[in-house]
Amino acid sequence: MPKSVLIIDDDAGIADALSLLLGQEGYEVRVASDGGMALELLEAQPRPQMILLDLSMPGMDGYAFLRRKQQSDALARIPTFVMSAGDMDFALKELHVSGWLRKPIKLEALQQLLRKERLITNPALFV
């Protein structure tokens, strides 16, 4: 069964490029343009194994999404990584997120993250 990732970003270009890159590596990718849409997608099974989240979005932003996500035990367990241009190390605990990816996202950083989350099943991935 392919590993799945949910991308939450209002920038369609970033979301599309990321999902294309991950899709090419065999991941099943779903995209939401804001937190509200992401919560709707998360109601369906199977749930993703990882979430990549932008914080600044119109509609329900990343902060509000994280608060709602924490209210559900099932959703709180899904590792979530914030995509941010600024250093987020100081806020990880408070936001209840597993880590962050610096924007603009580099292929190597994404690869490292997937390895860390044991989401790389194909040894030839990204090679």
Partner 1 sequence: MRDATSDGPGLEEEINRRVAQNTEQMKAAIDGRDDLLSVAAHEIRTPLASLRLYLDALIKAADRGKLDPVEAGVRLRKAQRQCDRLNILLSNLLDISRSPSRKLSVVLEPLDLVVVVKAVCDRLRDQFTHQGRTLDVVTPVDQLWGDWDRMRLEQVLTNLITNAQKHAPASPVRVEIAVRGEDKVAVTVADSGPGIKPDDRDRLFKRGTQPASSGGLGLGLWIVAQIVTAFGGTIGVESEPGRGAAFTFELPRRPGPPGGS
Q: How far apart are CA 77 and CA 122, in angstroms?
A: 24
- Residue 16 binding partner 1, by CB under 8 A: yes
Identify the residue among 2, 20, 72, 77 touching partner 1 (CB under 8 A). Answer: 20
What is the per-residue DSSP string for 3-70? -EEEEE-S-HHHHHHHHHHHHHTT-EEEEESSHHHHHHHHTSSSPPSEEEEES--SSS-HHHHHHHHH
- Residue 15 binding partner 1, by CB under 8 A: yes
12 or 76: CB nearest partner 1: 12
Q: Which two tokens stand for residue 48?
A: 């993703």
- Residue 19 binding partner 1, by CB under 8 A: yes
Identify the residue among 26, 72, 77, 85 touching partner 1 (CB under 8 A). Answer: 85
- Residue 31 binding partner 1, by CB under 8 A: yes
- Residue 70 binding partner 1, by CB under 8 A: no
Least Cβ distance, residue 106 to partner 1 (angstroms): 8
For residue 38, count CB atoms less than 10 angstroms from its CB and return exposed for 0-12, middle for 13-18, buried for 19 or more: buried
Residues in contact with partner 1 by CB under 8 A are: 10-21, 24, 31-34, 36-37, 56-60, 85, 103-105, 107, 126
